[in-house]
Structure 1
Amino acid sequence: MTFAATQRSRSEDRRISPVFWVLLATLGTSAWAVYSGYGNASFGVFLFVVSGWMVSLCLHEYAHARTALHGGDITVGAKGYLTLNPLKYANVLLSFVLPILFVILGGIGLPGGSVWIERSRIQGRLKHSLISAAGPLVNLVIGAALLIPVGAGWLDNPGLSMEWHGFEWPWRYAPLACAFAFLGQLQISAAILNLLPVPGLDGYGIVEPWLSYRTRRSIEPFAPYGMLAVFALLWQPEVRHVFFDLVSAVTHLFGMTDDNFAGYGQLLFRFWEN
């Protein structure tokens, strides 16, 4: 293969996927529609949250892949992980269906998608930990970017008049601000879940390189069931209450001290009930 062909191949490996552009277009269009009061606000919030969640999934997995690339795994480009295409990261069930289902059922940001990193190519325990940490850190950054404008009041829209089941919607809780708050809450919940040191989650990937070989081998058989165990616990009311208290405390750090914004956002998100 010639040098020019090699350069062209690398360029294609890193070209942003049309799927990602469509997600961004959906995110921007739905945000404009919700803010301006065009169309059904509830369905607009649904589109905003779902497309925003998928965008965050792409960026989460891109962060893993990009960090791995700089750490020594040069195969991530050929696998399509640098194209921001969610179809490259995992199967449809894990990346699309289950995350949206958990959002609908309980407003929980399910960590979805995965990239296959060839760890043997990466030298140094710190590099391995940074690769695992990169994804949850992206969720925290996106969460902050969504929550800070809500707390600062930048998305308030007192000129918007909207009826809700025969009642005037309180302008203090502008639909777009509620959508930002709910999506931001999902980002924070996903980051917290991912940072748990449970096999199968990024938190365990952060600490795993620092464990002894014997310990890693003894834990390895439980890795496929780690996420299932976490969500089984979250269905317990006591555990769920503690978890959402923690999520709320983190969102307050970014200035969103009124939890009603996220509550109204989740209410609007469930358009099929409205």
Structure 2
Amino acid sequence: MAFDATRGARRVSPVFLALVAIMAVSLWAIWTDFSASPGFAVFLFVVSAWVVSLCLHEYAHARTALHSGDISIGAKGYLTLNPLAYTHALLSVVLPVVFVIMGGIGLPGGAVFIERHRIQGRWRHSAISAAGPLTNVLFAAVCTAPFWLHALDGVPEHVRYALAFLALLQVSAAILNLLPVPGLDGYGIIEPWLSYGVRRQIEPFAPFGLLAVFGFLWIPSVNDAFFHVIDSVLRVLGVSDWDTYWGQRLFRFWQGNPEIPDLGGYLITR
């Protein structure tokens, strides 16, 4: 084969297929109002879809690296979309899910180990880093398609709000990942274009980049500005604050299923 030593290196993992099945069944339960607890169905849908997006994010990195010259990718299991095959499952799957549950923010992960010495050309290195967050951008576009296509007629309100909250997670993950901070994909995009001396000076700070970002997000003014950017992007895509607010309320089903009032022109702000 041109890229992989074995066909199994590219076979889709049963774990990923199970996640897709959970996502599909929970979406059906929301759409048909089958579940006695719509909030629990929304929770299952958002979490499973979020993990699916994480798998696709890392797959995009891996696939781009494979076509850029790192032929070791297949043997590592990254092309199977199995989240358990990632180098840092805790950082790439567990912590992002925990942050979604706790704070409703899309935490970027970093899991695939790419042998950069196999890859020649700065554009290829930048493309590998950009592939992940671009996947989140595409996922957000798909989630919001009913909104910006004005195709919400007949869509149950719970589905509408679940898609809106999922879109919020994708947009926040894309924005965070594209920050030019060491350890994030945004820095990976520009790193090949920096001088060797600058890269050596910045390298020791890479493990702490994500921690520093979330430290800044604890500052109220920074947090407000960050979510203002997210809300602005979502409004361009046709998603209102009302949609994301009730999506998050439904997602947190353990706080009790909310009685959602009629839309009636209201606008909920953070």
* TM-score (norm: length of structure 1): 0.89
Structure 1 residues 205-254: Cα deviation after superposition (integer angstroms, max 9, x where no partner): 00000000000000000000000000011111100110011111111222
Partner of 1:164: none
Contact 1:108–1:189, Cα closer than 8 Å, also in 2: yes
What one-letter code is carried by the residue in structure 2 that aligns with 1:11?
R
Distance 1:265 1:72 in 2: 42
Structure 1 consecutive aligned stretches of length 4 or more whose deviation exceeds 4 Å = 6-9, 155-158
% identical equivalent positions: 59
RMSD of aligned alpha carbons = 1.7
**Pairing partner for 2:30 from 22, 31, 34:** 34
1:78 alignment partner, SS class: helix
Distance 1:183 1:200 in 2: 24
* TM-score (norm: length of structure 2): 0.90
**Pairing partner for 2:230 from 227, 241, 247:** 247
Distance 1:176 1:111 in 2: 25
Matches within 5 A, 1:1-274: 9-39=5-35, 40-157=37-154, 174-256=157-239, 258-274=240-256
Shift of 1:96: 2.8
226-235 or 92-101, larger mean C-alpha shift: 92-101
Structure 1 residues 14-43: Cα deviation after superposition (integer angstroms, max 9, x where no partner): 000000100000000000100110111000
Distance 2:151 2:27 in 1: 14
63-72 or 143-152, larger mean C-alpha shift: 143-152
What one-letter code is carried by the residue in structure 2 that aligns with 1:96?
V
2:114 alignment partner, SS class: coil
Contact 2:5–2:74, Cα closer than 8 Å, also in 1: no
Distance 1:18 1:65 in 2: 19
Shift of 1:113: 4.1
Shift of 1:91: 3.3
Shift of 1:273: 0.7
Distance 1:75 1:52 in 2: 28
Change (3 A) 1:7 1:266: closer
Contact 2:99–2:106, Cα closer than 8 Å, also in 1: yes
Distance 2:50 2:129 in 1: 19
Shift of 1:10: 2.4
Shift of 1:93: 2.3
Gaps of 5+ in 1: 161-173
Partner of 1:166: none
Shift of 1:97: 2.5
